[in-house]
Amino acid sequence: MKMLSSNQHRGLFVSVDGPSAAGKSTIVEHLAQLLVASGEEVHVTAEPSGGPIGNLCRALTESVTGYALASLYAADRYHHLASEIRPHTEAGRTVISDRYVPSSLVMQRFDGLDLPFLMSLNERADKPDLAVILDADPEVISQRLHERGPHNRFQLSPDSSKAEVGFYREATDHLMRAGFPVLVVDVNCRPPEQSAGVIAERLTALLAMRRM
């Protein structure tokens, strides 16, 4: 995967991924607020993106599977980078993406695809400056998922939470070996604002190093 060039004027790019019902979107919201309060310019985005390919991903997730869906998500990622993420980081903003490559290494596993293929499909995608992966007890998130209801076909199986947590842990090891700057955040015993604080602390250190 492509590593972004070092430039003290470029903003940071951070991705946040984690199992369904782990509180990811709430953590992203708190993280953005913390960074803005510290004086940073922040742009929050998500995948699937809000662009035409991202909209197609959302429309077809329930009916398209396997290699076709994985390729569609990768196409959205490359378009997302070119049309939104890179322009904002080049303008000096910190970009936070709610889901990125790690989610593809997990969700497409439910369709029987293997990690080497999924990594190769995303090998030209930019590595984030920090890839945050939330880790949670599958029993806890299974209960949360039961309370809120499934959002897509990947969450319909009674054992989906256990499988998803397992896939994320495998993906984390794979990404670390591939040179991704991974930060694993245990969200079992922390409220979302504290998890966001852990991430913000690491990002503040990265920003300080870049400005030296």
What pLDDT is recorded for position 108?
94
Residue-level pLDDT at 7:
54
* pTM reported for the whole predicted model: 0.90
153 has a pLDDT exceeding 90? no
- What whole-number percentage of the chain has pLDDT above 70? 89
- Residue 147 — very low, low, confident or very high, per pLDDT cuts 50/70/90? low
- Residue 159: pLDDT over 90: no
Q: What is the mean pLDDT of residues 87-112?
A: 96
pLDDT recorded at residue 4: 45
Across the chain, mean pLDDT equals: 91
Total count of residues recorded for the chain = 212
What does the pLDDT look like over 18-60, one tens digit per residue?
A: 998 888 999 999 999 999 999 999 999 999 999 999 999 999 9
Contact 109, 165 (CB under 8 A): no
Phi, psi of 76 (to 5 degrees): -65, -40
Task: Please state at what angle helix 138-148 crosses helix 160-177, rounded to 10 degrees.
Answer: 130
Q: What are the DSSP E strand ranges found in the chain?
A: 2-3, 13-17, 42-46, 94-98, 126-127, 130-135, 182-186
| Residue 76: closest CA among 95, 106, 99, 110 | 99
Q: What is the pLDDT of residue 180?
A: 95
* Model confidence band, residue 8 (pLDDT cutoffs 50, 70, 90): low
pLDDT in tens, 58-89: 999 999 999 999 999 999 999 999 999 999 99
Domains of the chain are: 2-210 (3.40.50.300)
Taking Cα atoms as reference points, which of 33, 37, 49, 39 lies closest to residue 11? 39
